[in-house]
Amino acid sequence: MRISINRNADTPIYLQIKNQLRDMIFSGVLPEDFLLPPERSLAKTLEVNRSTVIKAYQELKADGLVDSHVGRGTVILSQAAKKLSLMEGYINPLPWYQLFTESITSSNDTIIGDIMAMTGGDVISFAGGIPAPNLYPVKIMEEIQKELFQKNGQELFLHSPVEGYYPLRESISYLLRQRQQITASPKDVVVLSGSQQGLDFAARIFIRPGDTVIVEEPTFFGAIQIFRSAGARVIGVPIDNDGMRIDVLESLLVRHKPKFIYTLPTFQNPSGVTLSLERRYQLLNLAYQHQLPIVEDDPYGELYYGNTPVPPLKALDRHGYVIYLSTFSKALFLGLRVGWVAAPPQVLAKFAHLKQMTDLHVNTPAQLLLDAFIRRGDYERHIALLRQEYAERRNIMLKALEKYKIPGISWNKPEGGFYIWCRLPDNIVRHKLVANAGKRGVVFLPGEAFYPDGTQGDTHIRLNYTFAKPQQIEEGIKYLMQAVRETVAASSEQENKRNIKPLV
């Protein structure tokens, strides 16, 4: 019996449960005399309140489809399906959730789509991981595009090789060598539709249902979703100011025998921390000892605001254990959907095969555009500009946090990347904070999204400083802190009420 809850739907959750059970009765998936799961256990499985399940069962009872007795539980009545078919106008519904595969049924998480939707209008958004639109090199791109139309004509709209447009692979190889100390020939690179596609391919290549994947905790929610929907158990390793705790990792490797380690060692999303050089070597050594691939996700490494960060794991790896993913989404624009993987040849062949099966190749004009942008030296100039501008926006946000801070709030100072990881006062009811900030036109990402089991992280929120305009950042933080203050006050009031003892 599979029930799927959509928390963003307008239909109340108890009705979603009731309707799906009713459809299952009608279609015969739940036969007569079938004992429904106890309310408490169904509530636990679906991660809803017990009262929600009770209400759904009560509704089914009121429709005469189930009966319930204390001690016996809730059973499907005989003739229930027939009764439904006799109801006027009742058409046998298609039981969609029974048809979906397990991976899709278990994933109702629409967080990425929701963030995309949260960035328009008058909202001050600290939610997404989107580069500043006013810095997009639109004029330069227009110029390049004109040249490409004149020079390349039809080639611009022809197919490209599955592995990517070769000159772009050369350009990426050049960037990796010049800027990241990574030696990878053009043939060691495959162009992808964003690094998100690389995560999906890594999951498809390595994960069988029930396998374990190790990630940092917190980590990028997109990766958690992908690994989960491939059937993996996603186990988190805590981080501190120097990145992943390698001492904890070691015992997890022995206990869980994972398929690979997924890590964001540089300006991690969401925490902003960077894995120290010493730990990078320790991590590689552990991978060698346990014969484990490392999937290194590095979208932010170029965007540093102080000293050059330590080299990527891929640059330090002498034995071909690291699969390196990166993207143009953070340094340029998300909309082009171009990322890449640099990996050992055996792995790259699998990536290319999956690319061919999934969507043949990355869009040709986007690849030519990016290649020309890099070859003209515009990429390097643009990165230099971003470093200045984003450092300034980060500083504005840090200053505003300091100015409006309230007791119990703390945050880190990221040396690069897109995010500030902010700790909330202890007793705050986080979903009320989302609502109170929303009322004031400010959105952010709640910390739970970044934890594999979703039960931690309610003490933190992620604040992005690259998307909002500099003049909006201070205002947004001011409103956010007002919302925090209001939520803390309401939470304490509620707590006080609960603690009042009746007079005897």
Ligand X SMILES: Cc1ncc(COP(=O)(O)O)c(C=O)c1O
Residues found near ligand X in the complex (CB under 6 A): 129, 194-196, 220, 222, 264, 269, 297, 299, 327, 329, 334, 339
C-beta of 264 vs 374, nearer to ligand X: 264
DSSP 8-state class, residue 312: P
Cα angle at 428 between 214 and 398, to 5 degrees? 75
Q: List, in order, residues 6 or more apart from 360 with CB less than 8 Å away.
A: 159, 162
Give dist(CA 5, CA 3) in Å, integer: 7
CB of 218 to ligand X, least distance (A): 11
C-beta of 220 vs 260, nearer to ligand X: 220
Give dist(CA 355, CA 275) in Å, integer: 31
Positive or negative torsion for Cα 75, 81, 82, 88 = positive
C-beta of 24 vs 313, nearer to ligand X: 313
Give dist(CA 427, CA 423) in Å, integer: 12
C-beta of 339 vs 425, nearer to ligand X: 339
CB of 495 to ligand X, least distance (A): 36
C-beta of 53 vs 215, nearer to ligand X: 215
Is 111:221 a contact under the CB 8 Å cutoff?
A: yes
Q: How far is CA 384 from each of CA 328, 381, 387, 469, rounded to the nearest angstrom?
A: 15, 5, 5, 19
Which ranges in 207-293 belong to alpha helices (H)? 221-229, 246-256, 277-290
Give dist(CA 213, CA 364) in Å, integer: 34
Give dist(CA 436, CA 480) in Å, integer: 8
CB of 222 to ligand X, least distance (A): 6
C-beta of 264 vs 449, nearer to ligand X: 264
Q: How far is CA 296 from each of CA 199, 221, 259, 265, 269, rounded to the nearest angstrom?
A: 10, 15, 14, 7, 13
For the chain, state the CA radius of gyration. 26
3-state secondary structure 379-437: HHHHHHHHHHHHHHHHHHHHHHHHHHCCCCCEECCCCECCEEEEECCCCCCHHHHHHHH
C-beta of 261 vs 481, nearer to ligand X: 261
C-beta of 160 vs 219, nearer to ligand X: 219
Half-sphere exposure of 496 (CA within 13 A, CB side): 6
C-beta of 128 vs 476, nearer to ligand X: 128
